[in-house]
């Protein structure tokens, strides 16, 4: 797919989305719309949504106060007399049905004496014609011709104004919408299309910034990881070089090995004590230094602990290193015992 076709496809998709969103807004906005119809003599009448029957003129800069009170904050559909508009036919190929808005806008200069920026215009739904073509009718008028009808309604504080007119005398024909003045609200396919483009553009910018930040942060993490890997490699090489230079019989390695076998593990000592001491004895402090262990705790029969430790053959020379003191709540006695650890060598390894 070429770049031009890709751009055309994206533009067509954007038009479809904008049309769908515009339809939703239009349906919501028309739910409580007040219809104002132009009558003979330049007077206007309110539709049933505002009570109906009221007739007023829009010749001055303001509408009557009682009408303004009804219209304030409301959506208004202003149906103008067809005599205000110039109606011209437009024949197009059948494939142009999906691009009518842009085509009609570009053809206003040819069909009418006004430019698209100086005119309000609308068109009827296309109907099929011969030779794979379609026909529609375009209604247009200069903006200054309908401004005297719109400005008083704006001054009355209406929320939005939709201007429509009739094209042809066919009964039941839908009115042609020639202007959507939504007073700051979102509305109109062109306006929604511009909003979508702005949102997509902002999303692209944010995605680009996110990718840039990800690459920047990821690059920094990669550098930190590489530096850490290099440091680990240097440390490993230094360790291997030290082992190769000193051998397995180096004094440092022999000292570490001797200390490993001579000093019992604290975990093993704690496990041996849990097997020797009775269930009513609680150890609150444990200190292991070399082959000596000191335990401090509470027991209901502290005097029996020395005998139990001696009989276990895991400890020897057990003795109290502080007087036992009874607790005030009669839960037992506080003791402090020191003993020599005599765990078998195969357990210490």
Q: What CATH number did the domain enclosing 271 receive? A: 3.30.1360
164, 187, 210 - which closes a domain: 187
| Residue 294 lies in domain | 260-348
Residue 182 belongs to a domain:
yes
Residue 215 belongs to a domain:
no
Distance CA 251, CA 116 (A): 98
Distance CA 190, CA 217 (A): 40
Buried b (16+ CB within 10 A) or exposed e, 68-99: bebbeebbbbbbbebebbbbbebebeeebeee
Residue 170 belongs to a domain:
yes
Question: Domains in the chain: how many in total?
Answer: 2
Residue 91 belongs to a domain:
yes
CA 169 to chain centre: 52
Kindly report the backbone phi and psi dihedral angles of residue 335, in degrees, each rounded to the nearest multiple of 5, phi listed first. Answer: -130, 165
Q: What's the CATH code of the domain at 108?
A: 3.30.1490.300
Q: What 8-state DSSP symbol labels residue 55?
A: E
Q: What burial class does residue 101 get, using C-beta atoms within 10 Å of its C-beta: 0-12 exposed, 13-18 middle, 19+ buried?
A: middle
Distance CA 160, CA 251 (A): 94
DSSP strand pairing (333-341 vs 325-326):
antiparallel
One pLDDT digit (tens) per residue for the chain, 349 residues:
677 777 777 777 777 777 777 666 655 555 568 889 988 877 888 887 655 667 787 766 778 888 888 888 888 899 999 989 999 999 999 989 989 988 999 999 999 999 988 999 999 999 999 889 999 999 999 999 999 889 898 888 898 899 999 887 555 567 899 987 755 444 556 667 777 788 888 888 888 888 888 777 777 788 888 889 888 988 888 777 766 555 555 666 666 566 655 556 778 888 888 888 998 888 999 888 888 899 999 998 888 888 898 888 888 889 999 888 888 877 788 999 999 988 765 554 4
For the record, the structure tokens of 241 come out as 């070089």
Sequence-distant (6+) residues with CB within 8 A of 287 are: 293, 294, 295
């Amino acid at each position: 797919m070429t770049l031009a076709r890709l751009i055309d496809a994206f533009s067509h998709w954007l038009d479809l989305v904008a049309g769908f969103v515009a339809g939703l807004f239009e349906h919501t906005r028309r739910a409580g719309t007040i219809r104002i119809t132009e009558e003979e003599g330049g007077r206007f009448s309110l539709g049933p949504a505002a009570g109906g029957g009221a007739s007023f003129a829009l010749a001055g800069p303001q509408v009557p106060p009682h009408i303004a009170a009804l219209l304030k904050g409301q959506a208004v559909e202003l149906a103008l007399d067809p005599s205000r508009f110039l109606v011209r036919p437009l024949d197009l190929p059948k494939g142009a049905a999906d691009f009518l808005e842009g085509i009609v806008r570009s053809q206003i200069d040819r069909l009418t004496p006004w430019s698209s920026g100086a005119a309000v215009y609308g068109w009827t739904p296309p109907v099929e014609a011969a030779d794979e073509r379609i026909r529609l009718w375009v209604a247009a008028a200069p903006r200054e011709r309908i401004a005297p009808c719109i400005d008083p309604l704006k001054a009355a504080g209406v929320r939005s104004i939709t201007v429509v007119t009739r094209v042809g005398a066919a009964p039941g024909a839908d009115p042609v919408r020639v202007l959507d003045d939504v007073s700051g609200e979102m509305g109109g396919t062109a306006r929604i299309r511009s909003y979508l483009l702005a949102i997509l553009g902002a999303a692209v910018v944010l995605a680009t910034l996110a990718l840039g930040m990800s690459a920047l942060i990821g690059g920094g993490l990669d550098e930190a990881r590489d530096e850490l890997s290099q440091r680990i490699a240097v440390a490993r090489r230094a360790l291997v070089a030290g082992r190769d230079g000193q051998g397995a019989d180096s004094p440092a390695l022999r000292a570490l090995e001797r200390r490993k076998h001579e000093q019992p593990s604290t975990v093993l000592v704690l496990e041996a004590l849990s097997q020797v001491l009775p269930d009513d004895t609680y150890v609150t402090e444990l200190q292991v230094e070399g082959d000596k262990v000191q335990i401090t705790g509470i027991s209901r029969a502290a005097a029996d602990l020395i005998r139990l430790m001696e009989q276990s053959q895991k400890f020897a020379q057990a003795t109290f290193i502080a007087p036992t003191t009874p607790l005030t709540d009669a839960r037992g006695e506080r003791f402090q015992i020191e003993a020599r650890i005599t765990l078998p060598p195969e357990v210490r390894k």
